[in-house]
């Protein structure tokens, strides 16, 4: 009887083992089987990304590249919807929507972020960053990261920096060759106090205006001119309502690629890495495209009938002397360690 019970128990155990192996995809023949795939840390999500830039611009193209990377790497689980040309509002409105959690991502320049984190004002100091090498050094330096690290306290996540470019001046009245030529020109500026005070100090009449309203403002005569990178000037067809392009390169404008912290906090570590990697990859190509486009845009604008002039180093020196009190006033409002570190990085890259 005992032998019979042992045989029966052995048979039951063997049967149980076969069933267990079968359920796990295993085999009793000694063949090695691969382990089942681990559960993915990616969930079904939708990301809306808004921008003031047009869909044909390097920024618009980078948004599409970001979308392709995210959707591919997530196996289609994360969908990205792009909204260029201020479809979701101006930069300030989109930043407020990010804070509220009603929008997932946007691509503002750092200028409107000064209302949230004052220290982003270092990028608004005119005639400071003068070439791409200096720009790259600053954005990849600890000071560039320190600024992004200030954003989570305000409901924002800075994923990385993209690039808008060096800002130049257009107007319909005259070439701006000398500092004195700024006098009386009604110039649209961003909604940024440093920009406003600088143009007023140079003798212009600074007029803050939403990006989406600039063309109609130029067309109607509400403003005489505006300032933007040459690529944006071409994309927005400002040559149709502007005669003169002055290559002042007065301010370098980076883009802070932002995400809502409320949305970010919902993401798994895997999702966060995927999104940030995609943002960096798309940004590398975006910077190359901005820089390649700039010289071509100048040629295209000339061919379209714009008169183009350089703003000489001598006039830049004169302008810097005039606006010195404005710069001193505004830098006092910034973190002095940030300002000093910024200026050191810029100086080392000259």
Domain boundaries, the chain: 45-348
* Spatial CB neighbours of 346, under 8 Å, sequence gap ≥ 6: 128, 129, 134, 137, 138
- Per-residue model confidence (pLDDT) at position 39: 41
- Per-residue model confidence (pLDDT) at position 191: 87
Residue keyed to tokens 């599409």: 64
- Per-residue model confidence (pLDDT) at position 107: 98
- CA gap 302, 150 in Å, rounded: 42
pTM of the model: 0.86
What is the β-pairing status of strands 105-106 and 244-260? antiparallel
**Alpha-carbon separation of residue 147 from 110, 142, 225, 263 (angstroms):** 10, 9, 31, 20
* Spatial CB neighbours of 268, under 8 Å, sequence gap ≥ 6: 41, 42, 43
pLDDT by position in tens, the chain (length 350): 434 334 433 443 344 433 333 333 443 334 434 433 334 799 999 999 999 999 999 999 999 999 999 999 999 999 999 999 999 999 999 999 999 999 999 999 999 999 999 999 999 999 999 999 999 999 999 999 999 999 999 999 999 999 999 999 999 999 999 999 999 999 999 989 999 999 999 999 999 999 999 999 999 999 999 999 999 999 999 999 999 999 999 999 999 999 999 999 999 999 999 999 999 999 999 999 999 999 999 999 999 999 999 999 999 999 999 999 999 999 999 999 999 999 999 999 87
- Per-residue model confidence (pLDDT) at position 286: 97
- Per-residue model confidence (pLDDT) at position 40: 72
- CA gap 164, 207 in Å, rounded: 21
- CA gap 286, 114 in Å, rounded: 23
- Concatenated DSSP letters for 229-255? -HHHHHHTTGGGT--EEEEEEEEEEEE
- Per-residue model confidence (pLDDT) at position 163: 98
Residue keyed to tokens 């089942």: 36
- Residue 195 in contact with residue 189, Cβ under 8 Å? yes
CATH class of 45-348: alpha beta
- Per-residue model confidence (pLDDT) at position 350: 75
- CA gap 246, 84 in Å, rounded: 27
- Residue 56 in contact with residue 238, Cβ under 8 Å? no
- Per-residue model confidence (pLDDT) at position 16: 40
- Concatenated DSSP letters for 214-236? HHHHHHHTS-SEEEE-HHHHHHT
């Amino acid at each position: 009887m005992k032998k019979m019970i042992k045989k029966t128990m052995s048979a039951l155990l063997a049967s149980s083992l076969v069933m267990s192996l079968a359920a796990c995809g295993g085999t009793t023949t000694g063949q090695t089987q691969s382990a089942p795939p681990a559960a993915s840390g990616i969930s079904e999500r939708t990301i809306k990304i808004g921008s003031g830039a047009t869909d044909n611009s390097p920024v618009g193209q980078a948004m599409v590249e970001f979308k392709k990377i995210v959707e591919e790497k997530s196996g289609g689980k994360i969908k990205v919807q792009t909204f260029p040309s201020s479809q979701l509002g101006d930069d300030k409105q989109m930043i407020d929507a990010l804070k509220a959690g009603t929008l997932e991502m946007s691509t503002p320049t750092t200028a409107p972020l000064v209302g949230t984190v004052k220290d982003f004002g270092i990028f608004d100091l005119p005639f400071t960053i003068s070439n791409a090498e200096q720009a790259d050094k600053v954005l990849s330096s600890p000071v560039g990261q320190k600024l992004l690290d200030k954003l989570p306290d305000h409901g924002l996540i800075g994923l990385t920096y993209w690039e808008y470019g060096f800002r130049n001046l257009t107007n319909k009245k005259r070439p701006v060759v000398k500092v004195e030529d700024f006098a009386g020109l009604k110039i649209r500026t961003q909604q940024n106090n440093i920009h406003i005070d600088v143009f007023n100090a140079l003798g212009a009449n600074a007029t803050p205006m939403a990006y989406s309203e600039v063309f109609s403002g130029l067309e109607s005569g509400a403003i005489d001119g505006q300032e933007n990178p040459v690529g944006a000037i071409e994309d927005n067809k400002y040559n149709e309502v502007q005669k003169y392009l002055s290559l002042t390169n007065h301010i370098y404008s980076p883009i802070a690629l932002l995400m809502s912290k409320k949305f970010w906090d919902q993401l798994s570590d895997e999702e966060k890495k995927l999104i940030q990697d995609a943002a960096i990859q798309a940004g590398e190509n975006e910077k190359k495209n901005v820089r390649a486009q700039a010289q071509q845009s100048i040629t295209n604008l000339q061919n379209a009938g714009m008169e183009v002039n350089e703003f000489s180093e001598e006039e830049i020196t004169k302008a810097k002397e005039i606006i010195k009190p404005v710069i001193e006033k505004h830098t006092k409002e910034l973190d002095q360690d940030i300002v000093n570190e910024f200026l050191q990085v810029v100086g080392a890259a000259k």
